[in-house]
């Protein structure tokens, strides 16, 4: 039976991936910080008749990242699919003196992605099979602060990894979701009332479409026709226009300052 490892697998898109893969018969390795949520998610997934291993890890801590990387390279218990999903919303100014949240973002959504992707790639390429999914964002095509910068890197990284692993039998797909109904935005303190209802995606539908794109060998997966259309515009409109749109998005999502 195949085994999938999902980072950030207890909530949001990660939990949707874990459920979808368990329903497809994958044994699971879940990686997240909260041990109680890990245990609860594992129990729910075991109801689908699969085995679930949990790893409590903070991917902002290099030693924890290395533990997960070692699991990915365990030849006796191979991982067939890595879903590099862990991340968080970033709503801090680029000019803040305190850069700790930006440093954490780089650690979790860049460095950990690089280390874990490399570990999976080494193990999978030796077996000439495997899949690596990197959860990025359409935000990487616009200019909404450091989150856009991080996700632009994530998408470019996934494409570069796909190029490097070409002809090894390892599939790499970057998933670029738009707005998805999860607790992601609330946790980040991002106001979403200005976002039209028709732009929101369901996490389960998103993952089902992403897995279809993986099966087709796509390197870039942009679920839903509406976000494919939006991606077309972000790639072809003048960058000055994109910056103007980005500024309006950022202002609409900012919480008002309480007096």
DSSP secondary structure string for all residues of the chain: --EEEEETTTSHHHHHHHHHHHHTT-EEEEEES-HHHHHHHHHHHHTTT--EEEEE--TTSHHHHHHHHHHHT-TTS--SEEEE---------TT-S--HHHHHHHIIIIIHHHHHHHHHHHHHHHHT-EEEEEE--GGGGS-SHHHHHHHHHHHHHHHHHHHHTTTTTEEEEEE---EESSSHHHHHT---TTS-GGGEE-HHHHHHHHHHHHHTT-SEE--SHHHHHHHHHHHHS-HHHHHHHHHHHHHHHSPPPP-
147 is catalytic: yes
Q: Out of 26, 48, 147, 157, which one is annotated catalytic?
A: 147
Positions marked catalytic: 147
């Amino acid at each position: 039976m195949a085994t999938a490892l999902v980072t950030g697998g207890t909530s949001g898109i990660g939990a949707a991936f874990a459920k979808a893969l368990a329903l497809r018969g994958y044994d699971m390795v879940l990686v997240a910080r909260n041990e109680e949520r890990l245990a609860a998610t594992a129990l729910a997934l075991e109801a689908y008749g699969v085995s679930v291993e949990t790893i409590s890890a903070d991917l902002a801590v290099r030693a924890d990242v290395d533990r997960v990387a070692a699991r990915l390279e365990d030849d006796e218990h191979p991982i067939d699919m890595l879903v590099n999903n862990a991340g968080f919303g970033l709503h801090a100014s680029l000019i803040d003196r305190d850069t700790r949240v930006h440093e954490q973002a780089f650690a979790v959504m860049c460095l950990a992605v690089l280390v874990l992707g490399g570990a999976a790639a080494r193990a999978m390429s030796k077996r000439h099979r495997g899949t690596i999914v990197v959860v990025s964002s359409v935000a990487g095509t616009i200019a909404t602060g450091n989150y856009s910068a991080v996700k632009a890197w994530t998408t470019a990284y996934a494409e570069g990894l796909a190029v490097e692993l070409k002809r090894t039998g390892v599939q790499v797909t970057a998933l670029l979701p738009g707005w998805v109904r999860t607790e992601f935005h609330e946790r980040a303190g991002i106001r979403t009332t200005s976002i039209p209802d028709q732009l929101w995606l369901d996490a389960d539908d998103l993952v089902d479409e992403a897995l279809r794109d993986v099966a087709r060998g796509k390197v870039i997966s942009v679920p839903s026709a509406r976000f494919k259309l939006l991606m077309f515009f972000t790639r072809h409109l003048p960058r000055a226009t994109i910056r103007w749109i980005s500024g309006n998005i950022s202002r609409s999502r900012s919480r008002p300052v309480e007096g």
